[in-house]
Structure 1
Amino acid sequence: MRTSTRVAGVLTGVTLALGGAALTAPVAHADVTACINQVERELQGGEAPSYVRTACATGQSGDHAGCVTALTKGGGVTNGTAVTACKVAP
């Protein structure tokens, strides 16, 4: 086997191995906790009520509008904070 063919084969193998590792690496993203923390900053009253947790879980599932509605209708959360919190949920 020629050296150039061997080098090409090794480089291909390394590229595939590294590419596969990149595809399987966990994706860093915001979650329910980030959403809850955003709301708690506004409420400034300790732990968020259960409706906040439920709303943020709704946002994480992809229902942004449902998350915002649940936070603003639940009481005490302004629309701006709800929008920001729900954006970080998914």
Structure 2
Amino acid sequence: MRTSTRMAGVLTGLTLVLGGAAFTAPAAHADVSACINQVERELQGGEVPAAIRAACTAGSTGYHDQCVTGLTKASVTNGTAVTACRAAP
């Protein structure tokens, strides 16, 4: 195989990998927002405390139990915490 052909293949692969990462990054952010929005419905307005944002971020990375625990410690009802954390991942 010629070097130029091999180099073109490597560059194409890198482009696909980096492009895929760019497409998945906004989805993670949207999941955190969905979790926060669910909690805001219960709180009925106001700025969400940092503890809630941290719990929803944990939920978006797959730590469902940590998300629920963090939200309940931040005075969110258990039902809302479970629903919000399901929306995170």
Asked whether the two chains share a fold, i.e. TM above 0.5, the reply is yes
CA-CA distance at 1:35 after TM superposition: 0.2
After TM superposition, what 4+ stretches of structure 1 lie above 6 angstroms from structure 2?
none
Structure 2 counterparts to residues 40-59 of structure 1, below 5 A:
40-59=40-59
DSSP 3-state at the match of 1:48: coil
- Length, aligned pairs only: 66
Write out per-residue CA displacement over residues 26-78 of structure 1, whole angstroms, 9 at most, x where no aligned residue. 57785000000000000113121111100000000100000000000122x10
Aligned match of 2:82: 83
The DSSP-based 3-state class of the residue aligned with 2:54 is: helix
1:14 match: none
Give the alignment's Cα RMSD to 1 decimal: 1.8
- More displaced 10-residue stretch of structure 1: 29-38 or 61-70: 29-38
Query: What letter is aligned with 1:83?
Result: V
- Percentage of matched positions with identical amino acids: 66
Larger Rg: 1
Unpaired stretches in structure 1, ≥5 consecutive residues: 1-23
Report the residue type matching 2:83 in the other structure. T
- Structure 2: how far apart are the matches of 1:45 and 1:56? 17
Question: When you count helix as a share of all residues, which structure comes out higher?
Answer: 2
Tell me the distance in 1 between the aligned counterparts of 2:77 and 2:88: 17
